[in-house]
Amino acid sequence: MITDKLQNAKFYYSLGERFKTAFEYLENTNLVSLKNGKYEIDGDNIFVSVQDYETKPIEQGRWEAHKKYADIQFLIKGAEQLGYTDISNLQPETGYDEEKDILFLKGNGQFTKASEGDFLIFFPQDAHMPCISQEKPVYVKKAVVKIKL
């Protein structure tokens, strides 16, 4: 898991051409104006899902992990906590859904706070729990870029 500010995105271009393309999209797009939905950047190799929601208590959160894609989760507005841990620290809660590239898990991990302008990168070994309130529910608008590995 990596966390940083979008203003430092150029330091992560070296993760590969797809990461560079994804970060350039985040840097050069008026994300505030985008409506919720899926936007292709490079077909199924790179796409972004824009979503907004109210953060929720940790008891309502779910651990998730992906096998085919890395996530760049970028907070456009608001603030939240995100859980993270190595997938080996958790137990499967459901079977892996290959079509949706998602596995839900149960167990415990650490949490980090993120606010407007922050991004987090989650790789397949990084189980994560997004959308968690820091203190009380707040509005969040987020862009989740999916990068095929």
Q: pLDDT tens across 2-14, in order?
A: 999 999 999 999 9
The predicted structure's pLDDT at residue 127: 98
Average pLDDT, the chain: 98
> Which distant-in-sequence residues (6+ apart) come within 8 Å of 22 by Cβ?
41, 46, 48, 72, 145, 147
The predicted structure's pLDDT at residue 117: 98
pLDDT band for position 93 (cuts 50, 70, 90): very high
pLDDT band for position 69 (cuts 50, 70, 90): very high
The predicted structure's pLDDT at residue 7: 97
CA atoms within 13 A on the CB side of 10: 2
Domain range annotation of the chain: 2-148
Look up the CATH superfamily of 2-148: YhcH/YjgK/YiaL (2.60.120.370)
Give the SS3 label for residue 52.
strand
**What's 35's DSSP letter?**
P
Please write the tens of the pLDDT for every residue from 25-46: 999 999 999 999 999 999 999 9
The predicted structure's pLDDT at residue 149: 97
